[in-house]
A and B are shown apart, each in its own frame.
Chain A
């Protein structure tokens, strides 16, 4: 049972390069999320998708785009990477419901932008 799978685990980019972070979940969850984690700042929500076909901005969406490809997959794209986007990125999923709103996280992608 893989849970939430993120690729790649590590990535180094030069300023201005683009890349897509991939995320897939095998728990049949409706909702998926992208967070970034920076030292001393905690996890900050970039984008989320409450259900297949919908996406919404979170707290820090600037510089990012997302695609909910299907129920399983939710990708995060950096069109023109900047050093300020150096961070650890986590994808998460949840089953929407009154008693099942806990998040399941992937193991993260460590991104460095030089």
Chain B
């Protein structure tokens, strides 16, 4: 069956360091992969989309890589700040429209 795995353990990191999150997937052949941020009591907010033919994508302090051979995406937050504290979700859609599926998310806690 199709599965998206994210580290369920919270990532505690000191301000200014780089946080790296992992998204592994099985039995997908995704055309693209997305990352979302979710704050407590709020809906997820889209951050980045990376396509299968892109190795890396950047947006401000965020960097995403996508390795379709390893079936893995890495999400980096550089120079992390306490405001980056949130849960980060990865999401995949295969070829069929409308079926975007999400990982359970990894919580990031940035301490001053």
> Considering only CB atoms, which chain A residue lies closest to B32 in the complex?
A101
A11 shortest CB reach to chain B, Å: 15
Q: Could you tell me the distance in whole angstroms from the C-beta of A83 to the nearest C-beta in chain B?
A: 21
By the criterion CB–CB under 8 Å, are A48 and B102 in contact?
no
Q: How many interface contacts (CB-CB < 8 Å) are there between A and B?
A: 59
Interface residue? B112 (CB, 8 A): no
Which residues of A sit under 8 angstroms from B4, Cβ to Cβ? 42
Which residue of chain B has its CB nearest to the CB of A94?
A: B100
Q: How many residues of A contact B (CB 8 A)?
A: 26
Are B98 and A50 closer than 8 Å at their CB atoms? yes
Taken together as a complex, chains A and B put the C-alpha atoms of A42 and B36 apart, in Å, by 12
CB B27 to nearest CB in A, in angstroms, measures 14
Which residues does A use to contact B, with CB under 8 Å?
4, 31, 33, 35, 40-45, 48, 50, 56, 58-59, 90, 92, 96, 101-108
A-binding residues in B (CB < 8 A):
4, 8, 32, 34, 36, 41-46, 49, 89, 93, 97-105
